[in-house]
Amino acid sequence: MNKLFLVLGLAAMVCGALLADSPSASGLTLQEAREEALQTYWGVKIAQEEVTAAVAERKSRFADFFPQLVFGTNYSHYNDETDFLIAKGAVAKTPIPFPTKDTFLPWLNQNTYQYGPSLQQPLFLGGRLYFGYRQAQSQEEQAGWDKKKAVNDLLFEVEQAYLNTLQLQGEAAVMEESLKFYKQHREDLEQKFKAGRVAIVDVLKAEAEEAKTEEELLSVNSDLKVAEGQFNLLLGRKVNAVVSLEPLPDPTPVTIDLDTAWNLAKSYRPDVQEAIAGLRAAGFSKQVVESSYFPQVNFTAKWYGQEGSPSNIEKERWQLLLTADWNLWEWGSTSQQVEKAAAQQRGAQDQAFLLADQANLDVYQAWLQLQAADVRIEVLGKKKTHAKEVVRVTDLGFKAGVTTSSDLMAAENMLSQVEIDEVKARFGARLARAAFHHAIGIMDEKLAVSNAAPPTESSTTPRP
């Protein structure tokens, strides 16, 4: 009796461990997959570091507006020896002049130590500090939109991998059912062949169809493993980790019209907004270079102490300096830098226009694919109903001896293909919606397209 309890206890422990290692019955939802990917994906982390660097650069440019306190020290050594003249009779003239003749004595070397703080404040630099700060602000905005693009791309890739995995699982399920049919049909034909009711060729055809379906199922299962590996990599998991996904509901209709989608893309498309921010940064960069045309005025307050030889040097000193430097001629170097910045600004503007056109094309293409995907589901639904009826009628005819085994297998093959096409169409419709949202620039489910804010004038760049 004790041994029985021991065996039951060990069995319970083993079953508990297996259940703990197995995926949950509910499976992973799409939103959970998105959140997990955002926490682990390297691309988002790299984009966040770029944002952090841009914020630090903006703060550094802001600090340039304020005075800087600097402590400095230096040591000077002058090794050129000079002669000190002692004229004849300079010490005593009577009764004997001393010295008796002009005498030159070597003067001591000079060694000077200086140390002290200084306060430095730029007063006017032609706008270089202000435009440099505005440039850093625009670059920070660029980094923010680049991170948003990385997030949108990741969410789209996760949803694409999620849907691809579910689609292949659906295809495998259809093929498994088809394989069961061919196996059962082949067994029935073998019994009928033994009874002399069918020819051997019908059995061979059934075996060929069964082998063909089994081969196709192996191929789909192989593709499914690859899809699961890609999904695991996006989530930062092991490539061969077990994947259990929650089924998705049927896609809901999208009521947004094409013009609204284009307007939303102008506001939310990350690459377009990043290009617009880059255009502003290029404009401020040009103004930074143009500041060299103006005088550079700085104020410096300095106190320093001195020590060294000779011993009569001034021990401490105050200085108030107001300096103005104006570069009057440097062989066109500044003008060439301005021309370079202007060319970069024009290039940034062209890039913004190019990306805006590309965004419009992407939205239009995604919208057309979305419309086609919904129509395809409706058409395949009707086709599936007809294919099921064909299989039913053909099966009745085969049992009555009116239709052949080849007719029945052809009908089943048609039904299986229609069901696979329907699986692809359903998940294709979901993917078309994801592609449509991605083309607009809204992949976050918390911001529904129907509730998205209309674009503002400041977020768009008019054409020249």
Domains of the chain: which residue ranges?
Answer: 29-67+125-297+329-459
Instruction: Give the least confident one: 22-26, 109-113, 229-233, 342-346.
Output: 22-26
Task: Kindly state the average pLDDT of the residues 430-457.
Answer: 68
**Using 50, 70 and 90 to split pLDDT, how confident is the model at 26?**
low
Predicted confidence at residue 309, as pLDDT, reads 57
Task: Kindly state the average pLDDT of the residues 176-180.
Answer: 95
When the pLDDT of each residue in the chain is averaged and rounded to a whole number, the result is 85
The share of the chain scoring above pLDDT 70, in percent, equals: 83
Residues whose CB is less than 8 angstroms from the CB of residue 41 and which lie 6 or more positions away in sequence, other chains included: 154, 234, 236
* pTM to 2 decimal places: 0.79
Mapping DSSP onto H, E and C, the string for 391-439 reads HHHHHHHHHCCCCCHHHHHHHHHHHHHHHHHHHHHHHHHHHHHHHHHHH
Identity of the residue numbered 230: Q
pLDDT at residue 459 greater than cutoff 50: no
pLDDT in tens, 358-413: 999 999 999 999 999 989 999 999 999 999 999 999 999 998 889 999 999 999 99
Predicted confidence at residue 115, as pLDDT, reads 84
Are 136 and 57 in contact, with CB atoms under 8 Å apart?
yes
Residues whose CB is less than 8 angstroms from the CB of residue 419 and which lie 6 or more positions away in sequence, other chains included: 174, 384, 387
pLDDT in tens, 79-92: 655 566 677 766 67
Predicted confidence at residue 453, as pLDDT, reads 39
pLDDT at residue 463 greater than cutoff 50: no
pLDDT at residue 2 greater than cutoff 50: no
pLDDT at residue 4 greater than cutoff 70: no
Are 329 and 357 in contact, with CB atoms under 8 Å apart?
no
pLDDT in tens, 317-364: 888 999 999 988 889 999 999 999 999 999 999 999 999 999 999 999
**Considering all CA atoms of the chain, what is the largest pairwise distance in Å, rounded to the nearest integer?**
164
CA distance 276 to 281: 9
Residues whose CB is less than 8 angstroms from the CB of residue 34 and which lie 6 or more positions away in sequence, other chains included: 155, 158, 159, 445
pLDDT at residue 236 greater than cutoff 70: yes
CA distance 83 to 231: 88
- More confidently predicted of 110 and 31: 31
Architecture of domain 29-67+125-297+329-459: Up-down Bundle (1.20)
Predicted confidence at residue 313, as pLDDT, reads 59
